[in-house]
Amino acid sequence: MKLGLFGSIHSAEEMKQFGLDDNMVMELFDRFQPDIICGEVRREDYEQNREYQGPSEYRRFIFPYCKERGIRFVPCDQFEDSDVEYVRRMEKIEVENEDEARKIEEEAGRIMEAYMRTGTASPLPFNSDEFNAVIEEKQAFQERLDPTEQEIVWNNRNKNIVNNIKHVIEENPSANVLAVFGAEHIYWLKKAFSADENVEIVFPLR
Report the range of poorest mean pLDDT among 35-44, 46-55, 81-90: 81-90
pTM for the predicted model, two decimal places: 0.92
Instruction: Supply the DSSP string of 15-66, one letter for each residue.
Output: HHHTT--HHHHHHHHHHH--SEEEEEEEHHHHHTT-S--SSHHIIIIIHHHH
- Termini Cα distance of the chain: 17
Average pLDDT, the chain: 92
Which pLDDT tens digit goes with each residue over 86-120?
Answer: 655 444 555 567 787 888 889 999 999 999 999 99
Adjacent-strand bridge partners of 5: 179
Q: What pLDDT, on a 0 to 100 scale, did the predictor assign at position 81?
A: 79
Q: What pLDDT, on a 0 to 100 scale, did the predictor assign at position 89?
A: 45
Q: Which amino acid is at 170?
A: E
